[in-house]
Amino acid sequence: MSNYDSDKRKLLSVLCHGSVFLNSLIIGAGVPLAILIVSDDPVVKTSAKESLNFHFNMWLYWAIFGALAWILIGLPFLALVAIANLILPIVAILSSLTKPDESYRYPFIFRIL
């Protein structure tokens, strides 16, 4: 058992993963970045890094497939990215609430941080 507050850990991890639903690019990525800087909990820090990596990957995928959509190749991929952008953070939030001592790892992303 860890010495960190489980409720605080859950809240901060959920904020990291839920920030993807904020519309502004700066605020959406700013929330997990601020939590990464401020928190001393290793699980919360890992959640913040995963969330930031997910943000970066989604921005990259939107840009690539958005550009390809101009020549109609990227349209099906844009739909997949939109679905992943909706479903994966919800799964991460539920995982953070049910398993607060583990950080959720997003599948199919490149880890930069």
Q: Is residue 1 part of a domain?
A: no
112 in a domain, yes or no?
A: no
Task: Decide if 73 is inside a domain.
Answer: yes
Residues of the chain with pLDDT under 50: none
Number of independent structural domains in the chain: 1
Listed in sequence order, the residues at least 6 apart from 73 whose beta carbon sits closer than 8 Å to its beta carbon are: none
Q: Is residue 12 part of a domain?
A: yes
Domain of residue 67 covers 6-98
Is residue 58, in this structure, part of any structural domain at all? yes
Q: Is residue 111 part of a domain?
A: no
Q: Decide if 53 is inside a domain.
A: yes
Alpha-carbon distance of 113 to 39, in angstroms, equals: 16
Task: Give a yes or no: residue 59 inside a domain.
Answer: yes
For 25-45, what is each residue's pLDDT tens digit? Answer: 778 899 999 999 999 999 999
Is 0.95 surpassed by the pTM of this model? no
